[in-house]
Every structure is written in structure tokens, then in C-alpha cells.
A and B are shown apart, each in its own frame.
Chain A
């Protein structure tokens, strides 16, 4: 899903009214505490549910009442069911009129880009903000494929046949006390139906949140993959590290060390002289701002930001005074200051040492280049269209209509590298220019990167004269840029865009634009399948004209643009008075705050460091003064139910990265049915919560079905991770695998329960169970309970279990290479989990690694 939807909303509505996602403004009407039949009835009534769902809830409630607490596993006796709210809904009049919906809720919908029709639907008497999942908008692409992806409450109304057929059939309320509780009180969750033969082109995910404290979260998820369908669902709640701008580019705040130089609020780089991490209990603020949808800042309440305060009416007559304001006193639409690094170090000539390998050793050649304006345009062409092949050739590919670019590139190559490139027609649409020069190939590779995903500019280029940097932008936009012009009922949208899969390069383009006094916003577009995430820099509003002249837009027709369109674009550019939300002054770019959220946290590690002279630094591109930190959700009982059905030949992969705060009981039931030749995978990573009990299970019901459970559990200080998997082989020729890796530390206990059952009807079964445990110290505990129930002689069942302890020798080895003890432990743990974390999509795997690092380090958590 791309963020373009959000961008459109920015354009569409005056931003002052568009976004208002501020949880602190939502007030909760207290439901009565505790559970009773009348509470269950009230939940159903408030949701406007049909009778059959009410009956299911009531059945669930009766079973919940009659079932005792499980006596095996973790100690659950501290759970007091009468002390929870079972339904939380935002305050506000119950009304079906859109006008009466509280502003906060409307804003939330807007922020999420929920289409107006759906907003109206959601905003009826059942308007839910909290327990009801505010689900991410249905992607058009999914719609086209006939995929249903919605929240479960909505599914009850819209798809009653499917819901009645499957709801509670894979996991009946009689299964266990918590499944019964969920059946009675469920709210929110995800419903997915994938039609026959459809492969969902991207992993689906929905974020669920617990806003009000002490409200249990009881989502209910149902996923149905019809014959031959394929879907991956990712359930996750995790934390992102705050990025700090250093003189060498962005770095995570926790990686900042004494001696690093960081960009400060006045645009100069200063040295860090002290770093600290401390636990924080109290308010934690999350601040998002316009112009970069990929960034948010988390800060403690007293954390000062560099702000320009201005009321809406006066913002056109700019007088941009700045002041330091604490997070708790920030208001939406206050302008945060993004410092612009305007330092210039310009070179007319530059010498690069190129080391080329020859037979019999390497040869060092000094390449002296005339680094003038035109040279940087060539750099721009390389960043967008260039590639290095086999280490000896640099090639550029253009559309055959882009003759001007072809000529320009060819002559630049000849001018700077003293060699004529070969121009050849690639196929009917492309022309490629190839320069056979090992030195040029090495030069481009070393200075600007080789693969599209890692292309970026070296420090010396980022410090060059903005006049030269404008040429980089020009070259880049000509290659990988476009102009968007679209008419909507609400007006015209026009934007220059530059696309790259290199996140670093996108930020560098933005930074160079700022040096040229043009504001570009940075957005991320996650693309289906294995395609790389696209990073897009947009330029719009009052900066359109300037950008157009920078790239020479008026004289250059992009390939594929019709003459009519071209004229239209040209005409519109000069006509209107355009404004933009971002303002650029000498020192700063000012952008308004989009949202401020806050919540109560306990013992969360917060990072801070001190900087010489200025005592300020740039976090997530915004000037701040004090500390930022990751935040965890705060709540106490999470008891979800996930049911899945994989029909003949279907494949479902369900990924969970669980990181609840360390006061949560996470008691979740997950089960899937796999029919003939179907394949089901549960990938289950448990890092958070106080007590976790979760054993994803698979019933292999059809001939040839496959089931797999991969489980990762990290039991830190005081945590109980009770996890594993359960596979029931009912049909012949079925295969299964349960792989578990757990890590325990201090008083943490990890317990693996793996159950394989092979019934009489299941011939030729193969199953493999392996569980590895790693103990970080001598206090940590791990248990393994394999339960096998095999009713056939021909079943091939293998089981492996290993327990390891990190040895002094391993830690010493890493420390002898300068690595701190904490980092050494984290490295060993990550290595231990490596084969499982690799299975996750890239960004999740990185995030998981970061969480584990936080979790295993000393003095934190």
C-alpha cells in the first residue's frame, strides 16, 4: 500500500482541518467494570449485531463461567476478571448523523484515509475508536481481486453467510476458558477472505491498539483462503528507533556515542560529550509532522522542541521566531523546525584514488576530475539511470524518445572520462549508453554505490555548492522523476516526483532541495510482492515553479507525454497563486505538527545525549533538545482468537511479532484447518508481555496437507513465555514441522510445549519437531514438554531438543574485539535466532532484531 492516499488528503483538505489524530482528546465513557450476561448483551446491542451473533456470545459467556482456569502452564491466578472493562467506546452522542460524530473520531478516519462512505458507516451508533479496529483502508487493488479485508465487526454485517459458516467452528468456545471469554466479548480483529486461485500480492497487516488503560483487548480474527489461494497476514505492534542526524548521515539514537558529531538546531555540527539511558515512568508523547510521512518522534513530556508558534490567520505574514517548547505544551499546527545544513565545501577539482585489480596485483590510479556544475548533472543521471556492469562498464538506459538526455549523458561521459561511449539501441523502446572504463566503473561504484537500493551521495557531494547540487537533482529528475497532473472534483493536483528505492538517497535529495530553498516531502510506498519499497520525494505548492525551472521542465518534454497534456501542464504552472504548508528560512524549514498523542508509560528506557555548545540535536529531522525513546502499549489482558481455513491447495502464512508491555497477560488461541494439499504456516515471535501462552495449532485434514509452526520466544527478566505449537494429522501423506527457539534471561522462564498427534486414519505421516533454548545466565530457566500421541506405526516422527548457555569464552572472544558485553550477548542471541528471523520480511526482521537488542541488554527493561 502506498502513502499516496494520504498525500491526496493533504492536497484535498486544508491541512488545518484534515488531520486530528490526537488520542488525548478522545474521552472515554466508562462501561461498567467486570463481565456479566447484561454486559455481553450490551456489547452486542451497541454493535447492532444480528441475533445469531448475540446467541454465540451468550453461549461463549456460559462456557466461560463454567470452565475452570487452566491449572497447567503459567500461574494465571492473579487475573481478576472483575477488574477489566470489556468494552470501551469513545464518548460522544450516539447518533447516525455524520455531523454529530465527534471531531476526534472524524479526524482519525481522515488520518487513516478511510473513504467517506465507509466513514459514515463506521460513525453510526456503533462508532468505535478503541475496541473496534480502526482498520486501514481497503486497498483498491484488493477490491479488484475480490479479496475481502476488513475488520471482524464489519464482516458480521456485510458477510453474514461466511461468518455464520466459519465463526467459532475452528475454535469452538468449548475449547478453553479464554476462547470462551473471547467469544463472549470479542471486538475488532481482522476478517480476510481470498477467493479461489487468487494470490494476494502483498502481505496484509492491520495495527491494533489499546488506547484506554485497563481495557482488555479481545480481537477476533478469521482468515479464509479458498481453493488455490495464497495470503500472508502480519500482525504486529512494535517500536521504532529514533533517528538522529549525524555528520555521517542518520543513526539510531541508541547507537550515538561520545565523540560523534551531530547536526544541531542551528545547522552546525557539534560533538557529543555525554550519553545516557534511563527508565522513564510518566507521560510519553508521539509527534508526527507534515512533509515526511515516514517519521514520528517519541519524547518524554519535558523534552523541548524548537518551535515557531503561529495561529492559522497569521501564517502568511511570516516572522519566524523560534522558541524551545516542551512536548507537553506543543499544539497541533505549531511549526517544528527542521535545521538546514548549509555548510558549503566546494571543490573545482577533486582527485580520487582508484584501485583496480589486475592480474598480479592491484594498481592504484589517481583520477582527477573537474567537479564543475555539469559534472554533477552526470552524477544525477548515474543515480537515476546508471549502472555498473561486471566492474568494467558504466551504462545508462533511457527511453528512445529521450534523445536530449542521451546526447547530454554521452557528451558528459566523454568530457569527464576522455572516452567516447557506445550508444546502442536496446530494444524497441530503450537506448543504452555504455562507457567501457574500469576506472569510471570503480569511480561510480565507490562514490555513489552500485545497486539501486544502496545508491547515495558521499559526504563531499552533500557539502558541495547548492548550484552544483541543483544539477544532481536535475539529472536525477530527468531520469527517475515525473510530473503529476490530475484533476479532481475538489481541484487540481500537481506535483513533481522523484522515485528511488534507496531511502538514504531520497533523504539526500530532500536535503539538497532544502539547500536550494525548495521543500520536498518524503513518502514511502510499500509495493506488492518482493518489490522494493519505493521512496518518493514530492514537490508541490509554491515550490512547483522553482523546481520546474531548476530541472528545466519547460524545455523538456518527458517521454510518453502527449502534446496536449504538456500544454496543459505548462499553462497551469504560471497561473495560480499556490501555497505550501512548509516554509523555508535561512536556517530552517518549518513544517506544521500533524498530530500529537500521549500515553502513560512505566519504566521505558529513554535515551539522551549532550552536545557541546548547543545542547541540541536533530531527531527524525526535527530539532530537539532532550530525550527520545521507544514506547510500549500499556494494558493488562489480551486474549485474542485467530481462526483460519486453508482450502484445497491454498497457502496461508500468519506472522505475529508480539511486543506487549511487560504487564500484559497475552493468552491467545490460534488454530488453522488445512485441507487437501493446503499449506499453513504460523510464524510466531513473542518478545513482550508478562505472561504469554500461545500454541498455534494446525489440523491437517486433507491428503497431502502441510503445516509449519516457527516460534521465537524471548523471556526477559520477570517474563514467562509459554509457547510452542500443536499439529494434528488426520489425513494421510501429511507433513508437519514445529521449530522453536527460545531465549531466557534472569528470572525469565521460557517453556516449549509441542504436540504432535497422528490419528489412525493418517497413513505416511512425516513430522519433525525441534526446540532449541539459549540461557543467558545461570538463573534463567527453560522447560520442554513434548507431547506425542501417535496411533500409527508408519509415522516418521523426529524430535530434537537442545539447551545451550552462552559461555564466557564466547563473550570474551567478542569483547576481545572491542565489543561491549551487552552487544556481545545481543550478537550471540541474534545469531542463535538468525535462521528464523530470516524468514520474516526485511523490515520486520530488522525491527525484531532491534527489539531483541533492547531486550537482552543490561540495565534496560
Chain B
């Protein structure tokens, strides 16, 4: 699978938040997207996934060469895209298991029986060190920040997208949890050959991962690309001076 973001501009409520960005991801690749607060990382993620409030004003988003600018989010998901939310919504009364089961059924990506599905959820949640009772509860209702992030990763593992955009999977997590999440991400990539765009503010999570490329975004645009050394540079000098 290949995701191409070509000179994309995104507006929200008439305000330009992404301003001509390019980014290409292939299966099996790990791309890291960094940048100061408000530079447009999350807006790019939502726009690519198809949030109706984040309209792609110009440029193109392509999946395997096919333009998806006008597709609704569920159709994009069916093509293999996934977005891990920075702030997942809470939906009272919607059980995680039911929700996940409905999602996997609508995507038809596996032919597992309900029983096999339940077993997989159980296995994956223990791999994420998620409390078992959590998946029996309403979606994200009353979850801690860390639990919400882990449930997002769990969803990715179950739905098995071809390319996933992970929007700050490490924020709000303690040191141990960052390690667990990072390990699960790399294990997932190995197992499924998925491509990943990882949005983060911190280098900590990158200790456990081997990114193929680092992209630095500023003012709605990717302005610098390079290897892992770029991260150290930013760590030392900050976005203002380093970029």
C-alpha cells in the first residue's frame, strides 16, 4: 500500500492550517512527523482521514495512486487507512467489544468468528498490559489518558490497517507505558507489514523504534526531512533555532 500526500492544503472554518505539504508512505515504512504546537500535524492527520471539518482545499491525497479527496472516512478506512486520535472521543453506553466487532465486520478484513475475535482482543490487550475488564466497558468513558491511547493501539491491532497515522501515541503516558506502546507498534509493523506515520513531540518513544525518515513541519508545511540525527538536533536546539 502507498499513501501519497501531494501539496495538500487544508482549511478549517476558512483558516488555512496545512499549507502545501508533501509526504509519501509505503507499506513497512515508519515516518516520524514532528513540529511545534499548532503547526498543523493533527490537522493533516484528520484531513487525510476525512474529517468533514478539515477540508482538503487543494492538492491530492492518493492511496495506491487513486485520489481519495472526496471519500467519506469509512471508505478511507476500508482502503486501509487508520487514524489513532490524539484525543479519542468518549461514547457512553457503546461497549468497546461491540464497537470493535462492528468495525471489523463493516471492513470485512478478516473472517474470524466472534470467538476468535474475542480471543484476539484478549491476547492483544494483555500484550498492551490493559486491564482485561476495560474492554468490557463503554468506549473511553472514564479512561485515563494512558488507557485511551492503549485502546487506540488495540483497535489498530485488531483492524489491521495498511497504513496508520498515529497522532501522539506517547503523550500522557508514563515511561513504562511508552515502552509498551512502542514495542506494540514495532511488533505490529513486523507482523502485518503496515506503514506508519507517527506524530510526536518527544524523542523518548523513538528510542524503541527505527524510523525510516523524520519530517519536520512548521506553519503547515514540511520544511525539513532527514534521518534520526534530526531528532537529536531538534532536542538540543529547539524548533526555533534548529530549523
Q: Is the CB of B72 within 8 A of A821?
A: yes
A458 to B116, CA, bound (A): 12
Determine the chain B residues whose CB is within 8 A of the CB of A817 once the complex forms. Answer: 74, 77, 99-100, 103, 107, 155, 159
Determine the chain A residues whose CB is within 8 A of the CB of B108 once the complex forms. Answer: 257, 259
Q: Is the CB of A827 within 8 A of B50?
A: no
Please report which residues of chain B, range 95-115, place their CB below 8 angstroms from some CB of chain A when the two chains form the complex: 99-100, 102-104, 106-108, 113, 115
A810 to B49, CA, bound (A): 14
Q: Is the CB of A823 within 8 A of B102?
A: yes
From the candidates A257, A355, A813, A832, name the one contacting B88 in the complex (CB within 8 A). A813
| Mask of B68-102 contacts with A, CB within 8 angstroms, 1/0 | 00001110111000110100110111100001101
Q: Is A834 an interface residue (CB 8 A)?
A: yes
Determine the chain A residues whose CB is within 8 A of the CB of B76 once the complex forms. Answer: 816
A823 to B74, CA, bound (A): 11
Q: Is the CB of B74 within 8 A of A821?
A: yes
A454 to chain B: closest residue by CB = B115
| Mask of A348-383 contacts with B, CB within 8 angstroms, 1/0 | 000000010000001000000000000000000000
B99 to chain A: closest residue by CB = A827
- Shortest distance in angstroms between B176's beta carbon and chain A's nearest beta carbon? 19
A828 to B95, CA, bound (A): 11
- Shortest distance in angstroms between B196's beta carbon and chain A's nearest beta carbon? 16
Q: Is the CB of A816 within 8 A of B91?
A: no
Q: Is the CB of A816 within 8 A of B89?
A: no
Q: Is B129 an interface residue (CB 8 A)?
A: no
From the candidates A810, A818, A828, name the one contacting B103 in the complex (CB within 8 A). A818
Determine the chain B residues whose CB is within 8 A of the CB of A812 once the complex forms. Answer: 46, 49-52, 73
Determine the chain B residues whose CB is within 8 A of the CB of A446 once the complex forms. Answer: 115-116, 119
Please report which residues of chain A, range 240-297, place their CB below 8 angstroms from some CB of chain B when the two chains form the complex: 257, 259
Q: Is A835 an interface residue (CB 8 A)?
A: yes
Determine the chain B residues whose CB is within 8 A of the CB of A835 once the complex forms. Answer: 93
Determine the chain A residues whose CB is within 8 A of the CB of B106 once the complex forms. Answer: 818-820, 823
| Mask of B149-169 contacts with A, CB within 8 angstroms, 1/0 | 000000100010000000000
Given contact pairs A816-B83, A819-B102, A828 touches B77 in the complex (Cβ within 8 A): no
Given contact pairs A362-B123, A819-B103, A819-B106, A834 touches B73 in the complex (Cβ within 8 A): no
Q: Is B213 an interface residue (CB 8 A)?
A: no
A827 to chain B: closest residue by CB = B94
Q: Is the CB of A816 within 8 A of B49?
A: yes
From the candidates B51, B78, B88, B139, name the one contacting A818 in the complex (CB within 8 A). B78
Q: Is the CB of B159 within 8 A of A833?
A: no
Q: Is the CB of A830 within 8 A of B155?
A: no
From the candidates A355, A815, A832, name the one contacting B50 in the complex (CB within 8 A). A815
Interface footprint category on A: 20 to 34
A835 to B139, CA, bound (A): 14
- Shortest distance in angstroms between A508's beta carbon and chain B's nearest beta carbon? 15
Name the residue in A257, A362, A827, A835 with the highest tally of chain B Cβ atoms < 10 Å from its Cβ: A827
Q: Is the CB of B94 within 8 A of A831?
A: yes
Given contact pairs A808-B51, A819-B106, A831 touches B115 in the complex (Cβ within 8 A): no
Q: Is the CB of A813 within 8 A of B89?
A: yes
Q: Is the CB of B74 within 8 A of A815?
A: yes
Please report which residues of chain B, range 115-135, place their CB below 8 angstroms from some CB of chain A when the two chains form the complex: 115-116, 119, 123
Given contact pairs A259-B108, A818-B103, A823-B106, A810 touches B89 in the complex (Cβ within 8 A): yes
A570 to B145, CA, bound (A): 70
A833 to B76, CA, bound (A): 29
Q: Is the CB of B92 within 8 A of A808?
A: no
| Mask of A818-848 contacts with B, CB within 8 angstroms, 1/0 | 1111010001101111110000000000000
Q: Is the CB of B89 within 8 A of A809?
A: yes
B114 to chain A: closest residue by CB = A454
Q: Is A189 an interface residue (CB 8 A)?
A: no
- What is B's interface to A at a CB cutoff of 8 Å? 46, 49-53, 72-74, 76-78, 82-83, 85, 88-89, 91-94, 99-100, 102-104, 106-108, 113, 115-116, 119, 123, 138-139, 155, 159
- What is A's interface to B at a CB cutoff of 8 Å? 257, 259, 355, 362, 446, 449, 458, 807-810, 812-821, 823, 827-828, 830-835
A818-B103, A831-B138 given. 16 additional CB < 8 A pairs?
A257-B108, A259-B108, A362-B123, A808-B51, A808-B52, A812-B46, A816-B49, A816-B76, A816-B85, A817-B74, A817-B159, A818-B74, A821-B74, A823-B106, A831-B93, A834-B138
